[in-house]
Amino acid sequence: MEKADIKKPPNGDMTVHVVPHTHWDREWYLTYQHFRIRLVRLMDRLQYLLNEQNYPSFHFDGQTIVLEDYLEIKPDNKDALKKLIAEGKIDVGPWYVMPDEFLVSGESLIRNLEIGMSMAASFGRGVKLGYLPDIFGHISQMPQILQGFEIDNIVFWRGIDGGTQGTEQTSSEFLWQGADGSRLLANHLPVHAGYSNALYLPSGKEELLVRIKSELDILTARNTTKQLLLMNGTDHTMPEENLAEMVEWMNEHVQGFTFIHSTVDRYVQAVKEEVRPDGLQTLQGELRSTNYSPQGHHNYLLANVASTRMYLKLQNECSQLLLERWAEPLSVWGAAIGGIAYPYELLRQSWKYLLQNHPHDSICGCSIDEVHDQNETRYAWSTEISTQLAYEAMHGICARIHTEGLEDQAVPVHVFHTGLKDGEGMVEAELLFPDGTEIRNLEIRSWDGTLISSQMLESRRRAVAKHAYDHHPLIPYWQAVKVRFYVPRVPAQGYTTVLAKSTRKCRIWDHSLVTRPGTLENEWIRLDVHSDGTFDLTDKKSGRVYPGQHRLEDGGDRGDGYVYSPPMFDEVFVGGGEDCTISVVADTSDFATIRISRSMLLPLSLTGDRNARTQEKGIVGVVTEVTLLRHSRRIELKTIVNNTVKDHRLRVLFPTTMKTDQSRAGSQFDVVKRSVYVQQPEDDVWVEDAPATHPMNGFVDVSEANAGFAVLSGDLTEYELCSDSARTLALTLLRSVGHLGSPDPLKINAGAGPALETPGSQCLRVMTYNYAIVLHEVATDDDLVRQADTFRAGLRYYQGASGRQGTLPAEACSFLRLSEGNLSLSALKRAEDGDGWIVRLYNPGSETQKAVLAFKDRVGKAVLTDLKEGLADFVDVEGNLISFTCKPKQIVSIRFSFAGE
């Protein structure tokens, strides 16, 4: 056979990197254990090929968790595996798991890389490769995160439009500039096949030649260098054992190209040596575009995973907050102040359980029911560890608080706050009194005797399994009293103490925020509830009225775990509900709560042909508690949905009345702006609708010149700013669907996964969401991020004991505060090598900020570090103060120690 002249390169041969690999979905359309059996057999076969058959190398998908999964079954193979990795025959890392980027916290992405890279290093070698081949879009700060670990490149597939619109990428290599200005060399996998363009090469020579010609024609139409990439593999595939023979044959029969058995890392390094950065196109910000290329029929964005199985998003928020805002910071102060050992290994295990739920097939909710049942177990494990460690840290701190001299029967309750500036808010506590104590009412006072607004919710005798610190570990009976109270000030990264005392008198509060039936009012806001459960908000300073808030909208959904897709003949229900009752459930001087109980009569499911919703209906209960604080411009809402029907999407609507064409929303270490208008693909390039919905991380805001309407929440993860005249903000409470991949979607050309039935994704359960409304004049990005962080983290408490002689003050104490600047906290933890502590902050704003951290105790030394905690530069230290500057969108990590450590 003569050599085939496929495409004569203009200046000599092109190098074609043929990379054998597998993309490993740890769990998806089968469970983790099913896929692990396949993993064990793959790893065994791969080691045989590499050791006995002179197979050159294999790329193992950029995540190291596969090593743990394999060695848990075959621990005796660890040394042999380490040898192959150290020799460069198996490429692993840099991630621990391959994460979704929009549904997890920025800090979790950093920990994911840290654990993955340290694990790869422990096996002798890890590649510095920004490998993210199958993630559903990319956040704006990924360039800075990767560069913080000395990774200067990214290899990816989804999130850009294929270049056909003339506004996005036009070549397979370009520069990607993140929010802070960091740049990566971006290597875009082929739009038509991504990481699988050389999957299952034909054994027949003629067929192989035709296949290679087709692939090389596609690659050479977009490349800017002489380096081309053929990815030989896909999801869960075994190595193609005769690949070396195929590579040799192609070199003999394909003119103008040199084929080599290679790795993704080797390909990227070759591109870096050849490319001219000043000649490359630059894309900026997040990469979330629908694909517009006619070849990109599998290159979906799949934006609606942000609202699939919302119960997973709720559990993820809980687990992340416990780790990042409570267990780790309190463990730092427990070790530095309380004298208890820092529980590094336990915290790391909690992180691992959490991260094991962050792959895109897990946190996104697009797997089979059994997978997500196991996700809930991992969330529970992470939460249990973090809750216990936070409790132990508070115990160690509170044991050193001086509580001598209290009045008789006064119980100290220590309220903690982990924000960088002073906080305030509600606490719901269960206080335990000796069995037999008669509790008719509780009185809560501050340390100086000032009465604090409170509400007793429950008092009953029950057995409580307390932590066995000061008593025998039996499970005794207690008089358990649930109480809500308002704390006007809790110091930054510290605590205050209130006193709880039993009283026979029922308190009648002097002032009320309930100014008339159905109306809550403070200095800034008036909230008027209507008979249908919606309410009007009035900004009393500006006089602006926001009518018809919190309306419910419910429409059909014939989509799947990936895509919202209404039925062909949809029936959308908009309003307050069929039945509505309104009641005042709290009325004190400092807080008041109105409960709105609504019943929606909704179709039971889709019809048999899935083209419409049934005429048969069922009741979906939606209960919302609206709380107003006297000293806050925030309206807090807790909504409980009891979902009893199928195949629908339920949203809550906020008509903002703003004159604007864009929203701004919290993102990982950033605030991003998105247009209300969506450009839909033309018919000839359509593979999926461009989504009008977007992910949110912490908040979404709609503003004009002198007014703004923000919703703060970590529980809600998907929003749409509608193009109606009211600029209605729609937030998704749930999507109820019945398939992993829909058999008949309307907004995408095919189901993105197999059409397996998944009854669990109908979300027939009770779910609780917490969110808040903030009306503002002009709120900066950094201020909204700080407000969202404070609301999400809330306050926690520890029931102390009287009569203790301690070195810490009882009334209030701050271990650390941001005395200058408006940065946000990402982490406060022990350094990974055990040498000192790490505080990580970031500037979500658009201006450089000078920042000053003020510690309770004198600082010994402090240095700036990168994200992998290597030394970078010194910062100014004076006594207990650390001063530094933080550029716009910059993430800053500081390693510090206290004097005497």
Q: Which residues pair with 731 in a beta bridge?
A: 652, 719
Token duo for residue 564 = 């919202």
The domain spans of the chain are: 4-301, 311-385, 411-506, 514-656+712-773, 815-901
Half-sphere exposure of 511 (CA within 13 A, CB side): 13
Q: Cα separation of 570 and 375, whole Å?
A: 33
**Is-contact 502 440, C-beta < 8 A?**
yes
User: How many residues are listed for the chain in this entry?
Assistant: 901
The 10 Å CB-count burial string (b at 16+, else e) for 771-808 is bbbbbbeebebbbbbbbbbbbbbbbbbbbbebebeeeb
Q: Cα separation of 759 and 162, whole Å?
A: 35
Confidence band for 8, pLDDT divided at 50, 70 and 90: very low
Q: Is the confidence at residue 659, as pLDDT, over 90?
A: yes
- What's the pLDDT at 167? 52
Token duo for residue 382 = 């992470």
Q: Is the confidence at residue 599, as pLDDT, over 90?
A: yes
708 closest CA partner among 746, 754, 762, 665: 665
The 10 Å CB-count burial string (b at 16+, else e) for 818-836 is beebbbbbbbbbbbeeeeb
Residues 6+ apart with CB under 8 A from 870: none
Q: Is the confidence at residue 87, as pLDDT, over 90?
A: yes
Confidence band for 733, pLDDT divided at 50, 70 and 90: very high
Q: What mean pLDDT value characterizes the chain?
A: 94
Phi and psi at residue 377, to the nearest 5° = -65, -45
Average pLDDT value for residue range 529-545: 96
Tell me the torsion sign for CA atoms 446, 451, 456, 459.
positive
- What's the pLDDT at 338? 77
pTM of the model: 0.96
- Element (DSSP H or E) covering residue 151: none
**Is-contact 288 123, C-beta < 8 A?**
no
Q: What is the pLDDT of residues 100-155, one digit of tens each?
A: 999 999 999 999 999 999 999 999 999 999 999 999 999 999 999 999 999 999 99
Q: What residue type is assigned to position 289 of the chain?
A: S
Token duo for residue 126 = 């890890």
Q: Is the confidence at residue 472, as pLDDT, over 90?
A: no
Strand ranges, E, within 233-386: 254-255, 257-261, 282-284
Residues 6+ apart with CB under 8 A from 48: none
Token duo for residue 354 = 């959490």
Q: What is the pLDDT of residues 699-728, one digit of tens each?
A: 999 999 999 999 999 999 999 999 999 999
Q: Cα separation of 857 and 864, whole Å?
A: 19
Confidence band for 80, pLDDT divided at 50, 70 and 90: very high
End-to-end CA distance of the chain: 75
CATH superfamily, with its number, for domain 4-301: Glycoside hydrolase 38, N terminal domain (3.20.110.10)
Tell me the torsion sign for CA atoms 367, 372, 373, 374.
positive
CATH superfamily, with its number, for domain 514-656+712-773: Golgi alpha-mannosidase II; domain 4 (2.70.98.30)
- What's the pLDDT at 402? 94
Q: Give alpha helix (H) positions in 527-632.
A: none
Say which range, 521-525, 572-576, 701-705, has the weakest mean pLDDT.
Answer: 572-576
Residues 6+ apart with CB under 8 A from 697: 102, 105, 665, 666, 667, 668, 714, 717
236 closest CA partner among 391, 89, 26, 68: 26
Strand ranges, E, within 242-369: 254-255, 257-261, 282-284
**Is-contact 416 798, C-beta < 8 A?**
yes
Q: What is the pLDDT of residues 755-782, one digit of tens each?
A: 999 999 999 999 999 999 999 998 899 9
Say which range, 169-173, 695-699, 755-759, 803-807, has the weakest mean pLDDT.
Answer: 169-173
- Element (DSSP H or E) covering residue 673: strand 670-675
Q: What residue type is assigned to position 746 of the chain?
A: L
Domain 311-385 top-level CATH class: mainly alpha
Assess whether the previous peptide bond of 94 is cis (omega < 30° from 0): yes
Confidence band for 162, pLDDT divided at 50, 70 and 90: low
Q: Cα separation of 792 and 824, whole Å?
A: 13
Average pLDDT value for residue range 507-528: 91
Q: Is the confidence at residue 581, as pLDDT, over 50?
A: yes
Total Cβ atoms within 10 A of residue 250: 22
Please, is 321 exposed, middle or buried when counting C-beta atoms within 10 Å of its C-beta (0-12, 13-18, 19+)? Answer: buried
Higher pLDDT, 470 or 120: 120
Half-sphere exposure of 3 (CA within 13 A, CB side): 12
Torsion of CA 83, 86, 92, 97, to 10 degrees: 80
554 closest CA partner among 320, 337, 736, 792: 736
Confidence band for 693, pLDDT divided at 50, 70 and 90: very high
Token duo for residue 364 = 């996104």
SS (H, E, C) 414-467: EEEECCCCCEEEEEEEEEEEECCCCCCEEEEEECCCCEECEEEEEEEEEECCCC
Q: Give alpha helix (H) positions in 709-804.
A: 781-793
Q: Cα separation of 839 and 894, whole Å?
A: 5
How distant, in Å, are the alpha carbons of 161, 170, 173, 280 from that of 283? 12, 10, 11, 10
Residues 6+ apart with CB under 8 A from 818: 420, 421, 492, 841, 851, 852, 853, 854
Q: Is the confidence at residue 819, as pLDDT, over 70?
A: yes
Q: Which residue has the tokens 């920025």?
A: 106
Tell me the torsion sign for CA atoms 342, 346, 347, 348.
positive
Q: Cα separation of 63 and 120, whole Å?
A: 9
**Is-contact 494 812, C-beta < 8 A?**
yes
- What's the pLDDT at 815? 97
159 closest CA partner among 688, 707, 558, 574: 688
Q: Provide the CA 753 distance to its chain's centre, in angstroms.
A: 23
- Domains 311-385 and 815-901 in one fold: no
Q: What residue type is assigned to position 550 of the chain?
A: H
Q: Which residue has the tokens 């990481």?
A: 195
Token duo for residue 252 = 């003999």
**Is-contact 42 90, C-beta < 8 A?**
no
Q: Cα separation of 254 and 621, whole Å?
A: 67
Please, is 345 exposed, middle or buried when counting C-beta atoms within 10 Å of its C-beta (0-12, 13-18, 19+)? Answer: exposed
Q: What is the pLDDT of residues 221-269, one digit of tens each?
A: 889 999 999 999 999 999 999 999 999 999 999 999 999 999 999 999 9
> For the domain bounded by 411-506, which CATH number is listed?
2.60.40.2210
- Element (DSSP H or E) covering residue 823: none
- What's the pLDDT at 10? 43
Average pLDDT value for residue range 204-214: 92
Q: Is the confidence at residue 6, as pLDDT, over 80?
A: no
- What's the pLDDT at 1? 43
Q: Cα separation of 279 and 277, whole Å?
A: 5
99 closest CA partner among 123, 65, 125: 65
Confidence band for 28, pLDDT divided at 50, 70 and 90: very high
SS (H, E, C) 512-527: CCEEECCEEECCCEEE
> For the domain bounded by 815-901, which CATH number is listed?
2.60.40
Q: Is the confidence at residue 890, as pLDDT, over 60?
A: yes
Total Cβ atoms within 10 A of residue 762: 22
Average pLDDT value for residue range 397-420: 91
Q: Cα separation of 556 and 648, whole Å?
A: 4
